[in-house]
Amino acid sequence: MGFIRPRSAVTPLRRAANTSTAAVGHRPSVMQAVALHRPEDPMHCIRPGVLAETARRFVGAFGDATGGARGGDVLYAVKCNPEPAVLRALWDGGVRHFDVASLGEVRLVRQMFPEAELHYMHPVKGRQAIRQAYQQYGVRDFVLDSMDELRKLMEETDEAADLGLIVRLALPKGNAVYDLSGKFGAQPDEAVRLLRAVRVVAPKVGVSFHVGSQMLEPAAYERAIALAGRVIAESGVAVDVLDVGGGFPVSYPDVTPPPLDDFMAAIARGVAALDLPAHCRIWCEPGRALVAAGVSLVVQVMKRRGDELFINDGVYGSLSDAGVPGFRFPVRLLRPFDGMFGGGIEAEAVPFAFYGPTCDSADRMNGPFLLPADVREGDWIEIGQLGAYGACLRTAFNGFDQARLVEVADRPLLETPGHRISTQAA
Ligand SMILES: *Cc1c(COP(=O)(O)O)cnc(C)c1O
């Protein structure tokens, strides 16, 4: 039970990844890990079993939805959580494709999984990044949303004849929690021109889009697929790939999304309505949905002031989504030394706000986070659903860059409908 590891901010992409599965065998519970280590630094609790199970379920559901002769590939969006232990668990769950967006991500994944299929899905890439990804790391698939980027790709691969070129399509502003419509993507007319242009130079071409992150409406995928279908039809190009992007939602305390199968059904309907070539593969690029439930964070209460708790992690650490974006996360109080079996918590739950450890008064999280009324200095709090866009956004601001990493056996603090395979079937 001693496999806790230290972790400072911004390291996952900088260090040599440990490519072997870390110390499997007996994993402690979160409560046991807290009792053993009494962590004064934030402690990241990775649930490899949950991550692998979620990946297996997602890959299976997407394969079924895009089934038959066609078939679908699930590309994990690495930016969401590049922690090697997380990548390893997803690989164990059957993920073989990775959506990478920087040379750092390319290197990390290639080093861990020599056989992985890497897809460079950032529409604006550095020239040296393209050259190295192509020449040193075997990347063949690249996304683009402009003629300038196409020119760059051809120049930096010395006019390679073995590229997969995917045209990123802009979508009208949608209603995702994180709208992604403003920054990337070609407008339909431009996408038509780009598709015709890439067909001339690449043996594999396709269309991609992103409906926005934490998208709660299954029909958004159907609409986006229909738009992609109109662009493809107008171009007259036989595409090899249709990539429906990421955005699949998970549960948070005030949000229960429709079941995963509703999203899969919407994608299946959307694809069935198009006249795609028989060999065309369907891709998706989930980030959040694969990893959110698989990591939680244990913080310690440094001070209580009424209904405000000063804790040892905050918006400059792993909790940036709890700051201005105002995400609420599931929480539970951990008091391992009270009572015979830990716990000893009887007080009624009341709302609290958090302050992070830095000296910036903006380092505040309004929640509300429901915790027992008698929370006090020295208590630990577990904060769930932090596997997505949590630890990867940490900074070293104000010197609060130390954290611990431990692999645990617990279930998630919140389940997302359709993410869990029944125990019998697993
Ligand atoms: C961030 C991103 C994803 C993952 O999005 P989620 O909402 O986490 O599923 C997928 N594809 C692209 C191009 C992205 O930028």
User: Same structural domain for residues 184 and 323?
Assistant: no
Query: Would the CB of 247 count as within 6 Å of ligand 1?
Result: yes
Instruction: Look up the pTM and report it.
Output: 0.92
Question: Is the CB of residue 286 below 6 angstroms from any atom belonging to ligand 1?
Answer: yes
CA of 79 from ligand 1 middle (Å) equals 8
> 161: CA distance to ligand 1 center in Å?
28
State the pLDDT at residue 225.
97
Distance 210 CA to ligand 1 centre (A): 7
Residues 195 and 326 in one domain: no
Instruction: Answer yes or no: is the C-beta of 122 below 6 A from any ligand 1 atom.
Output: no
Task: Give the structural domain span for 128.
Answer: 49-291
Domain shared by 372 and 246, yes or no: no
User: What's the pLDDT at 378?
Assistant: 97
The 3-class SS string of the chain reads: CCCCEEEECCCCCCCCCCCCCCCCCCCCCHHHHHHHHCCCCCEEEECHHHHHHHHHHHHHHHHHHCCCCCCEEEEEEHHHCCCHHHHHHHHHCCCCEEEECCHHHHHHHHHHCCCCEEEECCCCCCHHHHHHHHHHHCCCEEEECCHHHHHHHHHHCCCCCCCEEEEEECCCCCCCCECCCCCCCECHHHHHHHHHHHHHHCCEEEEECCCCECCCCCHHHHHHHHHHHHHHHHHCCCCCEEECCCCCCCCECCECCCCHHHHHHHHHHHHHCCCCCCCCEEEECCCHHHHHHHEEEEEEEEEEECCEEEECCCCCCCCHHHCCCCCCCCEEEECCCCCECECCCCCCEEEEEEECCCCCCCCEEEEEEEEECCCCCCCEEEECCCCCCCHHHCCCHHHCCEEEEEECCCCCCCCCCCCCCCCCCC
Is 215 part of any domain? yes
**Are 235 and 380 part of one and the same domain?**
no
pLDDT of residue 80: 97
246 Cβ closer than 6 Å to some ligand 1 atom: yes
Task: Say what the pLDDT of residue 21 is.
Answer: 46
Domain identity same for 73 and 30: no
Q: Which of 272, 291, 310 delimits the end of a domain?
A: 291
Tell me whether residue 163 is in a domain.
Answer: yes
249 lines ligand 1 (CB under 6 A): no
Domain total of the chain: 2
Whether 419 is in a domain gets the answer: yes
Could you tell me the mean pLDDT of each successive run of 10 residues in the chain, 426 residues long?
62 48 74 96 97 97 82 95 97 98 97 97 98 98 98 98 98 71 90 98 98 96 97 98 98 94 97 94 98 98 98 97 94 84 71 97 96 96 97 94 95 88 45
Q: Give residue 400's pLDDT.
A: 94
Which pLDDT belongs to residue 366? Answer: 96
pLDDT for residue 422: 52
Residue 4 in domain: no
What pLDDT does 423 receive?
46
